[in-house]
Structure 1
Amino acid sequence: MPPTISATDRPLEKLSADAVVVGVGKGPDGPLPTPGAEAVDRLLGGRLLTALANLGARGAEDEVTRVASLGQGPFPVIAVVGLGAPRTGGGYAPEAVRRAAGAASRALSGRASVVTLLAAVGGTPDEQRLHAVGEGSLLGAYEFTAYKSDTDGRPTPPREFTVVVPDAGDAKAPLQRARAVADAITLVRDLVNTPPNDLYPAELAARGAAAGKAAGLKVEVLDEAALAAGGYGGVLAVGGGSARGPRLLRLTYSGKKARTKVALVGKGITFDSGGLSIKPAANMHHMTSDMAGAAAVIATVCLVAELGLPVEVTATVPIAENLPSGTAYRPADVVTFRNGKKAEITNTDAEGRVILADALARAAEDSPDAILETSTLTGAQLVALGSRTAGVMGSDDMRDAVVAASARSGEAMWAMPMPAELRRGLDSPIADFVNANADRMGGMLVGAHFLAEFVPAGVPWAHIDIAGPSYNTGAPWGYTPKGGTGVPVRTLLATIEDLIAG
């Protein structure tokens, strides 16, 4: 069961819990108190900051210091989490609060399995901060145990969070939203973390369809025969090397009083060996995450429905497994896509754009006001921006809108150009274009140029390359676990809400 979260305006000294969480900032001479820390400090007779200094706490991001209350409060443990340096002018960004809440949630795993109190982490609990506290706490408590044969005795994350606020009524709406967002991200993480022998194309389509039906969405699933009849040459080409055939999933939400139509597209490669252009063995197991874009758009359209937003959203999800075999597509093949354009295949490991081409062409047929596509498209994204920052390309207006939304949602993204001269790298002597540039220069940007061939002129669109941020191969940090992260659900939601607002 997922953890619960609620709010209370009862005084801290009249509550009981396994632990209380407070935040402190990072100052030049040590930790900086916040209102929550000051409230706990009073219960301890003014000794909290002294104890922190003695323990070497600095208030840095992701730093969690546990202090025993020694019976001075209705909780045995105080978890003091660092917020980092305050912003110019004072206070802490919502993302700092979100990360701090997540770090505390992870640190209390096995130590506070019943109740954790979050007392004014980072300052006065306004709506933004409450939402950040809720998201961080719930996301930090995530764990994936589906394949653990023995969970008895394992440390478990906190299962109940109570946020201490001046007015519990004011906290209800932001915490409900945090719950909905966390549930959507949990769906993405679970799908990404499920191994490819259990999450093959038909199964991902089935799980996405089940989530859609539970959210009240219109659901359509195309199998191999329907894909062939519909002219989805790209999806069929990539999926042809696997005994487990490809699919295309469509989920549609039509909100009341909708005046805006948004198309979501996400790459669903359930495992990517590279095909005949096979990848090196090292780290190939991380390619279980190559359907993270698909999982994100499935979860986002379900989240939009859960929130009841006044918008029409259709997620178009191409799904395939890219394997080498006697039936695999080859370098030198020419693939014909749904919109009639043709690509010469020069690299079967540039398969994501091949299935996305069909999906973008199909999404465009609905005449959307905007197209948002996300995919683990290129290793070049990691080279250019690292493992935590997504690259965003597309039409200038939509690209910049996505980056602005990401800044508010806490998902790091950077606007990238599409220089016209890089398009020449896709020129083909026998087809409309090749699927991969030979010199690999500007690979992330060239990938966006390929996708642009399937977006009608004048339609605002954005491509979000999440090759790194969608899957954390290193140690957990903040509210981000090892494995699937759930990026970019929060940015997609924020962008859709901006489009609704005009």
Structure 2
Amino acid sequence: MDISVGQQREMEVTIRLLFQDSPTEHLPYALRPHMKAKGAVTWFFGRGEEGHELIIGLGERARFDLEALRDAAGNAGRAAEKERVTEACVTFDSLEPLFAAGLDRHSAVTAWTEGWLLGTYVFDRYLSKAQERSVSMLHIACPGAEKAEQAIEWARIRAKGTCFARDLVNEPPNQLTPVSFVERLQNHFAARDVDVTVHRGEALERLQMVGLITVGKGSVHPPAMVEIRYCTDPSLPLTALIGKGVTFDMGGMNVKAGRDISDARMDMGGAAAVAGALDILTSVKARANLLVLLPIAENVPDGGAFLPSDVIRYPNGLSVQTANTDAEGRLILADALIHADRLGAKQAIDIATLTGNVGEALGLKLAGIWGDSGMTAKLIASGNDCGDRLWPMPLVDDYEELLKSDYADMTNISPISYGGAIVAALFIRRFVAAGMKWVHIDMAPPVQAKATGGYRVMGATGYGARLLADYVLAQ
């Protein structure tokens, strides 16, 4: 799809963005108040050679931000595709007072483009008939932002990295196994300025990655630790981005139950987020010193699978009672954190679909974040800007007693259901080296959208890709 910016043009469809208080007397049709509500989509079709108009509601002006603009673009893009529109012009007239008040025009162009591209995303790889795109030309009428090629390209790169993460998370588990996941990463980054190392089998034994070895014992697909180095500025402190990559979490011997547990394929959302972020960063040749660690495994029951009450010992000396095999994510994140310290990382971010408990606290649109206050504040700021929102959560030292085991240094799950996300973060903290700055992000709720709205299409959201990329770029 071609995207341009400039003065308003006559096209097949004109898209108008309206706030609740936007004047409409000049329009040749009457609008009901609800048509300007946030998320509202209203068509006015012309006759014969007349153009069509699409009204997109923005809601209250005081609550507007770039996230609202991304959502509006996603709604507009899907509406245009549904009506098989071939070209469209969106006018930013209603945003002029906001531009005068300081809103950056190029940032608005990026947000609209990003929202349109993400909102029209489809995962149709396994459909007998792929969905054809109809819109071939999108023009953004925003005088004063004519030289916006860089803003458009930046939006394309961000959307591409996010859609890469979405594609990975949406894949069915028979197509994205631990082996094929590794191969996809190798192929995807083969032409990028990165060094990829895959630790499997004897290498995992040698590195004493006991969490990965243990979790992967029940699967016919061997586990792996994918290590990717991206360094364009070695003077920067080494930052580790760690993403949980469980391609299907059946719960191991603590088998999950339910009428449909297809969502268990999304338990590699953290790894996908990190991969998407790396795609964005390498596409723009970002200044960075990164270590990406993706522990990848499948957690399924089998005669060889690990059992509740097994004891494993990590190379940092800690022994762990695996009281519940469905609390496997923290076991493999521990391997990655130990390895990050081994390779000299000064700060680490681990991101994982770790607990359902965090959703009970925060709902389905926020991820929880624990750890270093400075890193937390920067990540929250990045999340507020890009829409991958975070909420700071406490590391309650008194809850450490919930990790007590009768015959190991610690257990991998609390004996009570309350505060499970906090206890999981406390478990992971025990594997953070002294002197290493660290945060843990539990993204289980926003890894997927349960319904389509704004620029989030039902299914994988690609949460974390833009968040992590923006954090690294801000360093």
TM-score range, shorter chain: over 0.9
Q: Is 1:83 the equivalent of 2:66?
A: no
Superposition map of 1:231-250 within 5 A: 231-250=208-227
Deviations 1:284-318 (A, max 9, x none): 11111100110110121221111122111121000
Aligned 8 A contact 2:310 2:321 in 1: yes
Aligned residues: 468
Aligned 8 A contact 2:269 2:447 in 1: yes
Q: Larger RCO: Structure 1 or Structure 2 (Cα < 8 Å, ≥ 6 residues apart)?
A: 2
Aligned 8 A contact 1:330 1:345 in 2: yes
Partner of 1:126: 105
| Aligned with 2:120 (options 134, 141, 148) | 141
Partner of 2:100: none
Q: Name the CA distance, whole Å, in 1 between partners of 2:192 and 2:91.
A: 33
Deviations 1:3-49 (A, max 9, x none): x3522324423xx3x4222211124xxxx25xxxx8xx8xxxx225x
Aligned 8 A contact 1:141 1:158 in 2: no
Aligned 8 A contact 1:135 1:178 in 2: yes
Q: 1:101 to 1:488 in 2, by over 3 A?
A: same
Partner of 1:111: 83
Q: Is 1:25 the equivalent of 2:1?
A: no
Q: 1:130 to 1:412 in 2, by over 3 A?
A: same
TM (norm. structure 2) is 0.93
Shift of the alpha carbon at 1:159?
A: 4.4
Q: Name the CA distance, whole Å, in 2 between partners of 1:294 and 1:470.
A: 11
| Aligned with 1:47 (options 27, 30, 53) | 27
Q: Is 1:480 the equivalent of 2:460?
A: no
**Percent of aligned pairs sharing the same letter:** 32
**What amino acid is the match of 1:79?**
L
Deviations 1:408-427 (A, max 9, x none): 11122211111111111111
**What amino acid is the match of 2:120?**
A
Counterpart secondary structure, 2:272: helix
Q: 1:106 to 1:167 in 2, by over 3 A?
A: same
Single out whichever of 394-403 and 312-321 deviates more from structure 2: 394-403
**What amino acid is the match of 1:295?**
A
Single out whichever of 253-262 and 419-428 deviates more from structure 2: 253-262
**What amino acid is the match of 1:20?**
T
Shift of the alpha carbon at 1:163?
A: 1.8
Q: Is 1:456 the equivalent of 2:428?
A: no
Q: Name the CA distance, whole Å, in 2 between partners of 1:237 and 1:298.
A: 24
- In structure 1, stretches of 5+ residues that fail to align are none
Superposition map of 1:88-103 within 5 A: 92-103=64-75
Q: Name the CA distance, whole Å, in 1 between partners of 2:247 and 2:128.
A: 24
Q: 1:71 to 1:9 in 2, by over 3 A?
A: farther
Q: Name the CA distance, whole Å, in 1 between partners of 2:54 and 2:149.
A: 24
Shift of the alpha carbon at 1:71?
A: 6.3
| Aligned with 1:7 (options 1, 4, 9) | 4
Deviations 1:245-299 (A, max 9, x none): 1111112211247524211000000001111011112341111110011011012
Single out whichever of 102-111 and 130-139 deviates more from structure 2: 102-111
- In structure 2, stretches of 5+ residues that fail to align are 97-103
Superposition map of 1:179-328 within 5 A: 179-256=156-233, 259-328=236-305
TM (norm. structure 1) is 0.89
Single out whichever of 245-254 and 121-130 deviates more from structure 2: 121-130
| Aligned with 1:173 (options 150, 160, 164) | 150
Counterpart secondary structure, 2:14: strand
Shift of the alpha carbon at 1:453?
A: 1.1
Q: Is 1:426 the equivalent of 2:403?
A: yes
Structure 1 vs Structure 2 CA RMSD? 2.0
Aligned 8 A contact 1:83 1:122 in 2: no
Q: Name the CA distance, whole Å, in 1 between partners of 2:234 and 2:284.
A: 14
Q: 1:460 to 1:175 in 2, by over 3 A?
A: same
Counterpart secondary structure, 1:51: coil
Counterpart secondary structure, 1:315: strand
